[in-house]
Amino acid sequence: MTDRPRPRRVGPLDRPWLHQRSVLLVTPVATDVEAIRAALLRFTHLHPDSPVSSRLDEATGRWLPVRAGDRAEHVARMVVTAPDPDPEDLTGYIKAHLAPPRDLPVRLVVSPTAVLGDISHAVGDASTFTRLLMAATRGEGLDELAARTPTRTVLHALRAGLRTHRRDWVDYVRHRTAPPVAAATTAPERTRPDFTGAVIPNPALREITRWRNTHAKGISITSVLTSMTHRALVSHGVPLNGDGLWALIDVRGMLGPSDDPRWGNLSKSLYLRTDLGDPAAVEAAMKQARDTGRALPALALGSLIGAVSATPKPAPALAPRPDRVTLTFNSMPTLPGLADMPWLDTGTKRFFGFSPSYGPDGITVFAIRTRDHMELTASHDENVVSTETVDKALAALAAPTALLADMAG
């Protein structure tokens, strides 16, 4: 007899994200490392089949549940300690501590006033990550994360929406779009994923809002920021594809009523064809994607493919330099759990989040609004776009007067 649990295949909704991770850093927050470890250990005993209670075999795409006698060691590997970060150098802090064993679903680096979380995307999406980080930091609320939304819930919602969206969904399945294929400009070389970030202060956000009210009335700030990001990157020499972008759309609101929270990978990236230089065109493309609900069939299709396909491959370690890159712009007006963090009144609240670059042909910009400011992060391949260049582009967004004048002209 043995108490070794059987490995379980990563679920269909999660398989497309298998080799990707996301990083979140919150500071200043109250922390208690022993309470965090105790909460996670309790969770692993109560929910031994959860991804958080397992190790991940990326080669086979399987969760390996941890035996009861090994759970304390599992939690000790997931929760480590470090000194506090320098608020002026969060990127340096993350790089110094971002080295998790790839089999860990979650790794939390806890300091006296900060928590850095590195989470396998196979555990869930940004909403799930934020709630997990909040619950772990507070030492309570983890149990609700055990209830993951199953694929059948997505399929039921898909069937329920056919009467309203059948024509749009059939058109989407037949004519799915993707960015133009980038041509190689070099022989394969080792990829160099990197990231950086900036803060857009509230005065700059008010300036952007005033510009929107004058020059793009009725257009969302997200669409304006998307066009601004495109303009800033191109003006600094980034070979950006201007005919479309990847946008992340959350499908939770399309799944029907539920008394239980919806956790897991319930966001879908859609490629939207549009003129990135025109905020109105960006708004129209995003509105069409929302109104037709096409993220739901896209998610269901990806789930079905994930259920029958081979284990997804990791990002390439060697790749040629492309002649263009495609923008992914993810804007989060809020995330569940963000306001419930145990924030301290000892400094500006920072929420630094990003997903490391998955390949050389893209640049991903993540925007999250807090009460104090907007956080911007960008991940990219240093071989294709230098971090210095991205820093300059983000600085143009943080001090937007010249950029907005250029857009108005």
Predicted confidence (pLDDT) per residue in 223-252, tens digit: 999 999 999 999 999 999 999 999 999 999
- What residues does 268 pair with on adjacent strands? 249
Predicted confidence at residue 140, as pLDDT, reads 86
- Could you count the other beta carbons within 10 Å of the beta carbon of residue 86? 9
Predicted confidence at residue 3, as pLDDT, reads 63
Predicted confidence at residue 1, as pLDDT, reads 42
Predicted confidence (pLDDT) per residue in 282-329, tens digit: 999 999 999 999 999 999 988 888 777 778 888 889 999 999 999 999
Q: Which of 234, 251, 406, 224 is nearest to 329 (CA)?
A: 224
pTM: 0.93
Alpha-carbon dihedral 36, 41, 45, 47, rounded to 10 degrees: 40
Torsions phi, psi of 298, nearest 5?
Answer: -65, -40
The mean pLDDT values, 10 residues at a time, for the chain of 409 residues are 76 92 95 96 96 94 95 97 95 90 94 96 92 89 90 92 91 86 91 96 96 95 96 96 94 84 90 96 95 93 80 88 95 80 92 89 94 94 96 97 91
Task: Enumerate residues 6+ apart whose C-beta is below 8 A from 407.
Answer: 211, 215, 227, 228, 231
Predicted confidence at residue 332, as pLDDT, reads 82
